[in-house]
């Protein structure tokens, strides 16, 4: 199903992108239930999905995707050790973790690059290896050996440094994240036409260097999700 927003942008009403879920799978379930009647087939989450396994069969317990495929990149608030030790990218049936640097080709031929990760501004109050992990940051290693192919859409958790002037008015503490530098390098390499991210718990959009970008809000807030352009 196709539609058009107020700016004349074509909206594909089969695919949704969301901001931070933070383990609020009830809200995600509600969204899927409401949008399946529009032909929803795919949900893409921009990190802080809520990957906090507590033991066998407890990984993202409670999600009811009703046959809709879910793809998520990692945010800063995930159990990064559990993600590293996962047995499969398919965490539960039809719910897939997209590792940093992985790609996914849409049925319209467009290619998505995933690059999760960001800095936690509250890490001084967290316990290393339990609810905070140094692996949360995007590093030089993450942007090495990337795919040599055209990328149309970025899905990240935080933003490249070029967008910090737009974002630090929301939370200036997040401007010291080295992840922003590495995402900037990816922008220069791939020049995507679309970029979606979360992390900042607000909604903003704009165009920079030919890329239409969206910062999506967090679960149960206005503009937590949007149809994929």
Q: What pLDDT does 56 receive?
A: 47
What do you get for the CA distance between the two ends of the chain, in Å? 12
Q: Domain of 39: which CATH number?
A: 3.60.21.10
Q: On the CB side of 114, how many CA atoms lie within 13 Å of its CA?
A: 20
Pick out the chain residues at pLDDT < 50: 56-57
Query: Which tokens hold the place of 62?
Result: 């409670």
Query: 210-217 contacts: CB < 8 A, separation 24 or more?
Result: 211/154, 211/187, 212/9, 213/159, 213/163, 214/17, 215/19, 215/159, 215/163, 215/167, 216/17, 216/18, 216/19, 216/20, 216/46, 217/19
Q: Which domain holds residue 88?
A: 2-228
How far apart (Å, rounded) are the C-alpha atoms in residues 28 and 6? 26
State the chain's mean pLDDT as an integer.
91
What is the total count of domains within the chain?
A: 1
Residue-wise pLDDT tens digits, 41-65: 999 999 999 998 865 445 566 788 8
């Amino acid at each position: 199903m196709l539609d058009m927003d107020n700016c004349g942008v074509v909206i594909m009403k089969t695919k949704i992108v969301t901001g931070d879920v933070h383990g609020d799978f009830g809200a995600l379930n509600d969204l899927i239930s409401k949008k399946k009647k529009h032909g929803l087939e795919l949900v893409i989450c921009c990190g802080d999905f809520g990957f906090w396994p507590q033991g066998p069969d407890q990984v993202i317990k409670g999600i009811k995707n009703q046959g809709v495929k879910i793809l998520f990149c990692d945010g800063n608030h995930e159990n990064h050790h559990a993600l590293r030790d996962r047995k499969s990218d398919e965490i539960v049936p039809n719910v897939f973790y997209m590792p940093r640097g992985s790609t996914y080709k849409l049925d319209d031929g467009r290619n998505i690059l995933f690059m999760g990760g960001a800095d936690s501004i509250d890490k001084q109050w967290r316990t290393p290896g339990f609810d905070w992990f140094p692996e949360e940051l995007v590093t030089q290693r993450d942007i090495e050996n990337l795919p040599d192919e055209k990328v149309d859409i970025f899905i990240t958790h935080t933003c490249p440094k070029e967008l910090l002037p737009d974002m630090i008015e929301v939370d200036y503490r997040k401007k010291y994240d080295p992840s922003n530098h590495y995402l900037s390098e990816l922008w220069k390499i791939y020049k995507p036409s679309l970029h979606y991210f979360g992390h900042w718990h607000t909604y903003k959009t704009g165009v920079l260097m030919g890329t239409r970008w969206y910062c999506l809000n967090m679960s149960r807030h206005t503009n937590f999700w949007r149809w994929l352009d």
